[in-house]
Structure 1
């Protein structure tokens, strides 16, 4: 057992969700004048975030939003990699009642997120996931049907991080439909948009 297991906060589960980051303006040059982007009109809990559960049935509308980004990029003769950040995604796991939120600030494609989700969904024991990048780290251990998850800042000596413990089966039951829904949403979005920018983040050319 890791020493921090003893201090992990027991919770019943976490609610995982994947979302698409939205921006209401396009800036061809950092710090330069901005051009407005019309946001999708479908209902969302957060103005600049479209959860996969909210996107279902509205993929064409979201694709139209991304088409604005491409049109603006073409007007300013920008390359696809110069507007990649307009297509970023977001993964969060939270439990509002327990005041717990786990974020993955360096994961912006479904492929990177799915490595984590697949580890939780599997049956491996011991340390099943470990990653870190610029002021952020996460490690996940599985032991006898229980998960121990800690998120911390490895660059801060005085940061104990946030550690939780929860039943693995409950989180697995929530992850399965999330992965399935995200795959379907991205596939439909790619069909409407003309390219899949969200699975791996690769966009060799504009559609």
Structure 2
């Protein structure tokens, strides 16, 4: 049992969600005039963020948005690694009532997020997940049906971070449909635009954009 378990905030649940980052301008190069991008028309809580729960059923609109990015990248002879930021995604775990918001700032593809989701959705006990990068760390423990999750900044002693304790089954039940709809959206985008921008299939970071 880790010492921080005692200080973990008990909550009923967390709502996991994955979103696509949107941009309303395409910047081909520094000091060049940006070109407008038409955003998808489906309803969203945030203008520049399309959650999977909002995008499902609107796959064609999402593909049309990314098609603009692909066309502009080809027009300016840019490679995938030069426009990677236009394909970023994010994972969040929220409980609005408890004012708990866990983020994964270094995960920007579904394939990187899915390692965490699979670990939580499984049945292993003990320390089931650990990761850290610059200014951020997350660790997850499973013990007797309870999940203990802590997000912190390993580079700072002044930031205590946040730790929560919650029933494992509730989060597991939410992860299954999230993974299903995200996989469906990413598969559609990979089919329409090519797999290079959507890790989970093969990706060639330094190759030419081959988005159809």
Query: Same fold judged by TM-score > 0.5?
Result: yes
Contact 2:80 2:197 in 1 (8 A): no
Correspondence for 1:61: 61
Off by >4 Å, runs of 4+ in structure 1: none
Provide, for residues 23-61 of structure 1, a one-character-per-residue CA deviation record: whole Å limited to 9, x for no partner. 000111135421111101011111001111111111111
Correspondence for 1:206: 210
How many residues are matched?
207
Q: Give the TM-score of the pair, scaled to structure 2.
A: 0.93
> How far 1:101 moved relative to its partner?
0.5
CA distance in 2: counterparts of 1:163 and 1:50, whole angstroms: 27
Contact 1:16 1:178 in 2 (8 A): yes
Contact 1:89 1:198 in 2 (8 A): no
Matched, 1:153 2:153: yes
Superposed counterparts of 1:2-151, under 5 Å: 2-30=2-30, 32-151=32-151
Q: Give the TM-score of the pair, scaled to structure 1.
A: 0.95
CA distance in 2: counterparts of 1:30 and 1:103, whole angstroms: 30
Contact 2:135 2:155 in 1 (8 A): yes
CA distance in 1: counterparts of 2:186 and 2:115, whole angstroms: 17
More displaced 10-residue stretch of structure 1: 74-83 or 158-167: 74-83
SS at match of 1:155: coil
Contact 1:19 1:52 in 2 (8 A): yes
| Structure 1 unmatched runs, 5+ | none
| Structure 2 unmatched runs, 5+ | none
Aligned-residue Cα RMSD (Å) equals: 1.4
> How far 1:193 moved relative to its partner?
2.4
> How far 1:131 moved relative to its partner?
0.3
CA distance in 2: counterparts of 1:123 and 1:31, whole angstroms: 52
Contact 1:88 1:198 in 2 (8 A): no
